Structure 1
Amino acid sequence: MRHSLRAYVLISCGAIIQGFAMALFLFPNSIPSGGAGGLAVLLNYWLNVPVSFALWFVNFSLLVLAIYWLGNASAIGTMYGITVTSLSVHFFTITMHMPQTIVWIDLLTGSIILGCGIGILLRQGVSNGGMGVIALLVSKYRGIPPGKPLLILNGLIFILTASIIDWRIIILALLSQWISTHIVDVVFKLDINSRIDKMKILTDGLVWRRK
């Protein structure tokens, strides 16, 4: 029970950080944060499916995949994370307004923050939604960090949607994914417990010397 509570606190933190990056740095510059939105646009373009329903359908399908391959706990955590992210985007959008700045600065800042949030979520065994589910599956069964498969999947979707989205936005989206997925791998591989133990040993050594 204590472990579950700790996990959901960390999922909440990761989702809020992710929503903060989207609402204040990426979405104001029309920079897509992932591939699920790109798939929704493609369904709308090819099959005339409403974008809102297409986005729900893509995320729901990927969540079914998560339930089958990752287990109910991961799927529930993913649904919780997506909900907190959505609420965070709404909250930050209506309560905080960043002054206009250079788009490349927003891109760099937002991508780094986004990568930190996604990395925290993936460390808890849950996806950030969208292509994060498949990236987590690849990471689990191939034993590799999820950042690289996430970059490849989202990159392919961004390229596919280039015919109906401004090429400048696609380039920004790919750069954002490249930066954020590298940060994801750094956060995902970070050995926090080992660092805490080293700090404890160092602290104990300083105390012993003083004695």
Structure 2
Amino acid sequence: MTTITYSSRARFFRRLWQKNIHILAGSLIQGFAMGVFLFPHAIPAGGCAGLAILLYHSLQLPVSIGLWATNILFLLLAVHHLGRVSAIGTIIVITATAVSVNFFQVYLHSPFSNVWLDLIAGSVFLGAGISVLLRERFTNGGIGFVALALARRRKVNPGSTLFWMNAVIFLLTAVVIDWSIIVLALLCQWISTRIVKMAYSPVMLLKRPLYFGVWRKK
């Protein structure tokens, strides 16, 4: 009995450690994508990033702080749908991402000198980071928390939900941001959500999205 209890506890702590590593990795990957490839060209990596860029242009508020604040606001809108535990984890993701964005913006620079190459690289890394977080039942931020809640209720792919929510915010901010930036932002969202869909709807699983298994009610 003692052996079984010890084994169960060991598995629990091992899984908890792995989960925390994955959450941190996903946050750093998307922070790397935004800080190195996307934000230097003012390309919003998502709806909250678009709002953060607007805050920077209007109030000179640092993008990392604006990113954190807007994500927290969206998180509060959906916290009652997914629970406090998920909310706490998402706050950790938001904070780690904001800190990593600030770090990468200061200490790392893109090896490319072309906006399109930066767009592709940043979008791929962004999608990879989001996929890692979704596999651990966490989102890439507050607006992702809202998208995850909607996807859970309506049984739709979270990548598609994220895309359309972000697209609406991009259109609303088009008055302030140059239209070429909006086009780049939509392309970024399209590429990154393709990465998410590839991760969650592999052909080898007979077209059964993985997120159905993750969110299945017990």
Give the one of 166, 175, 180 matched to 1:168: 180
Residues 34 and 73 of structure 1, relative CA distance in 2, 3 Å threshold:
same
Query: For residues 85 and 169 of structure 1, what CA distance do their matches in structure 2 show?
Result: 22
Residues 32 and 54 of structure 1, relative CA distance in 2, 3 Å threshold:
closer
Residues 50 and 109 of structure 1, relative CA distance in 2, 3 Å threshold:
closer
Matched, 1:126 2:138: yes
Residue segments in structure 1 that go unaligned for 5+ positions in a row: 194-211
Residue segments in structure 2 that go unaligned for 5+ positions in a row: 1-11, 206-218
Cα shift at 1:150: 0.4
Which amino acid is 1:147 matched to?
G
Give the one of 135, 147, 157 matched to 2:169: 157
Residues 92 and 43 of structure 1, relative CA distance in 2, 3 Å threshold:
closer
Q: Which whole-Å deviations, capped at 9, do the CAs of 1:85-144 have from their partners, x for residues lacking one?
A: 122222222222223421111111110110010111112111211421111112211222
Give the one of 34, 57, 73 matched to 2:46: 34
Q: Which whole-Å deviations, capped at 9, do the CAs of 1:153-193 have from their partners, x for residues lacking one?
A: 10111011111110110100011011101111222345999
Partner of 1:89: 101
Aligned pairs (5 A) from 1:1-211: 1-2=12-13, 3-39=15-51, 58-189=70-201
Tell me, yes or no, if the aligned pair for 1:34 and 1:130 is still in contact at 8 Å.
no
Query: For residues 190 and 110 of structure 2, what CA distance do their matches in structure 1 show?
Result: 24
Structure number with greater Rg is: 1
Query: For residues 109 and 180 of structure 1, what CA distance do their matches in structure 2 show?
Result: 10
Residues 170 and 20 of structure 1, relative CA distance in 2, 3 Å threshold:
same
Residues 40 and 141 of structure 1, relative CA distance in 2, 3 Å threshold:
same
Residues 51 and 192 of structure 1, relative CA distance in 2, 3 Å threshold:
farther
Residues 54 and 24 of structure 1, relative CA distance in 2, 3 Å threshold:
closer
Tell me, yes or no, if the aligned pair for 1:40 and 1:58 is still in contact at 8 Å.
yes
How many equivalent residue pairs? Answer: 191
TM-score (norm 2): 0.77
Query: For residues 171 and 91 of structure 1, what CA distance do their matches in structure 2 show?
Result: 27
Query: For residues 189 and 83 of structure 2, what CA distance do their matches in structure 1 show?
Result: 27
Tell me, yes or no, if the aligned pair for 1:145 and 1:189 is still in contact at 8 Å.
no
Tell me, yes or no, if the aligned pair for 2:29 and 2:128 is still in contact at 8 Å.
yes
RMSD between superposed Cα atoms in Å: 2.7
Residues 37 and 146 of structure 1, relative CA distance in 2, 3 Å threshold:
same
Which amino acid is 2:124 matched to?
I
